[in-house]
Structure 1
């Protein structure tokens, strides 16, 4: 039975990924900051789910939790680096610096910390798969995306560079890059609890769901061991690419 480690398991993508993997016969270690949600999830999913409550942006907590797993949960076959967030949509000169730091601490430092702690185990066994949750924000700029997009661009390049470092091993690395996804807390967090503002983003749109992303994660891991999907970009059919904007009234003297 494969063991998966899923960060950010208490809501959205992470929650759906945990449920999908367990339904497919995996054992899952789910991490998150909200211990009460993890406990409820354990009660729902049973003995094949191990909750670990810690904040990936806190290195001491992360090391303590991951280095003290029970022996029967030591051999992680699949690491899903899902924990992450966006804060604010203001232009760069108006953004809160604390928001920028929090996105960097979680989306970049948290992801690389978990990866660095788990990867040596995979290398020692010459087996494993790391799936990172990126975003189309790391591929295409948009107003207000500034640091959030920068963190996701980092994840894309980090994933590719991991592949380069792991040349000659059987370890796979994939980056999943979603577009507009609903049914998560993503926009509610970005707009700092303004649920009405968040809901408007998804009005009259058949968006990608957490279950869609979970199915993609499962599919990636269930490909034959000699097949590595480097990147997979997914949007709802309703979303596509905007034309490059030109401001015809701007005069620079």
Structure 2
């Protein structure tokens, strides 16, 4: 019996992770580095990406994905070839009903989750193609698959992420670039809910109250690294990942308070 050839080494392969200053982005950068990728850690907070890049022997790039000039700096830093782009930068702002929501919050969400993703992808696509084995991996959300009260702005933006991913896969069908999306459900990170509720700690904590084991940033980073290290002929179109206690957006098993 002929033995299968060994999996290709990921040593010397390169990756860009946007939104790498905290949460899923930072965890993903660390795990990809552990898998042998040289990681360009991109985010707005220069001190954080510098610290992270130093820890994983990566390259820090101060980058605001919503600013075209900043994205151009990222493309220059990456150079002519790139194996993996993880479009992780995103965010939710506010949770008001449609009739009370602030349009500026909606603009911010669309700008970072959709326009920012498009700008980074456009800037780095030539390098991804040039590598001969590129991958675009967009971090979406289960919010990009179903609506829920108070989430219209965010769900609209993440539905946009999903549709952009699907369109890219059609447009790049004859290029050596895989296009994938990971759609996490309930993930507890240090900042996501806190940012959404403008620093209101009580509202942020209420999201996870009674759920002792939501997903963590490391759970998502582990799944992203698995997707990124599949053989070149394997495309994971989408991976929906939730904690066991979350059957759907509205159906989460919460333990009663002991207080």
TM-score by length of 2: 0.88
Partner of 2:216: 209
Counterpart Cα distance in 1 of 2:123 and 2:249: 40
Residue among 166, 171, 184 paired with 1:178: 184
Q: CA deviation at 1:184?
A: 3.5
Secondary structure of 1:240's match? strand
Partner of 1:23: 34
Contact 1:13–1:184 under 8 Å retained in 2: no
Partner of 2:114: 108
Note if 1:67 corresponds to 2:78.
no
The number of aligned residues is 239
Contact 1:12–1:184 under 8 Å retained in 2: yes
Note if 1:155 corresponds to 2:161.
yes
Question: Aligned Cα RMSD in Å?
Answer: 1.6
Structure 1: gaps spanning 5 or more residues:
245-253
Note if 1:53 corresponds to 2:75.
no
Counterpart Cα distance in 2 of 1:123 and 1:38: 26
Residue among 88, 99, 102 paired with 1:96: 102
- In the TM superposition, what whole-angstrom CA distance separates every residue of 1:186-224 from its partner, at most 9, and x where no partner exists? 100000111221012112311011111011111101111
Residue among 219, 223, 226 paired with 2:226: 219
Partner of 1:249: none
Note if 1:78 corresponds to 2:87.
no
Q: CA deviation at 1:95?
A: 0.9
Partner of 1:195: 201
Task: Identify if the C-alpha distance between structure 1 residues 121 and 39 changes in structure 2 by more than 3 Å, giving closer, same or farther.
Answer: closer
Partner of 1:5: 16
Structure 2: gaps spanning 5 or more residues:
1-11, 252-259
Counterpart Cα distance in 1 of 2:54 and 2:250: 48
